[in-house]
Each structure stands twice: as C-alpha cells, then as structure tokens.
Amino acid sequence: MIVVDTSAWVAALRADGPEAARLRQLLDADEVLLPVPVKIELLSGTSKRDRHKLRSGLSALPLAYPTDETWRLMDGWTDRASGAGAAFGIGDLLIAAISHEAGALVWSLDAAFARLERLRLIDCYEP
C-alpha cells in the first residue's frame, strides 16, 4: 500500500506530468491508502466548484483513521525527533503515523517525509 501525501496529490492533479501518470498507475492497481488528514487537506484546498467531483473520486479509496495508538506513537516520535534535533508539524506526523501503522510506504514531495525516513520512522515510496 502507498499513502500519497497531499503534495504528491496536488502535483498530480495540477499537471499531466510524471506525478499524474504514477498516481493513475497506483490508483488503477488499488495501491492507494488515503489517510483522513490528506483527504481533509485536499478537500479544503479545492474550489467549491470542483469539491464534489474530488470528494466523489476520493470516496472510492480506502480511508485510514487515527486511533488512540496513533497519538501515542506520535508522542514517542516527537521525543525521538527532538533528540535528533528535528521537529515536524502535527499534520506530517499524523500522516506518517497512520502510514506506519498501516505498513504503507509514503509518497511525498515534502522534504519532511524524507527526514522522517532518515530517522527510520517511516519508509518512503520512490516512484
């Protein structure tokens, strides 16, 4: 399974480039897991005119929700990251923790996820 972060979704939806082609392949292969925070970020950044169409398309994907364990995992990661001199936003940590719990790789264009991988907290997908 691949968690596609908001940054990769946005790149794929804005242009018909390599990100769009890769996302289509992953969607066709039923390889995409959608964390609720990514869904919310995508819908909140979409125009009112396009929101219904996007919501309908996203509804075909399996959703992943945070649990109590997700928050405990993030708490531990925060200690580990700060010990290594790193800090992360709550949104990135939440997406990463949900991905980790699902055993999914993360595809992101956001450098924060590469830093999370260097700390061995997640594994990134390289298209």
**For 92-105, how does the pLDDT look when each residue is reduced to its tens digit (9 = 90+)?**
999 999 999 999 99
Residues in the chain: 127
DSSP 99: H
| List of residues 6+ apart from 65 with CB closer than 8 A | 35, 36, 98
Residue 60: Cβ-neighbour burial (10 angstroms; 0-12, 13-18, 19+): exposed
Q: For residue 10, is pLDDT > 90?
A: yes
CATH topology of domain 2-47+65-118: Rossmann fold (3.40.50)
State mean pLDDT over 99-116. Answer: 97
Q: For residue 15, is pLDDT > 90?
A: no
When pLDDT is cut at 50, 70 and 90, the band that residue 56 belongs to is very high
Q: Tell me if 81 sits within 8 A of 119, measured CB to CB.
A: yes
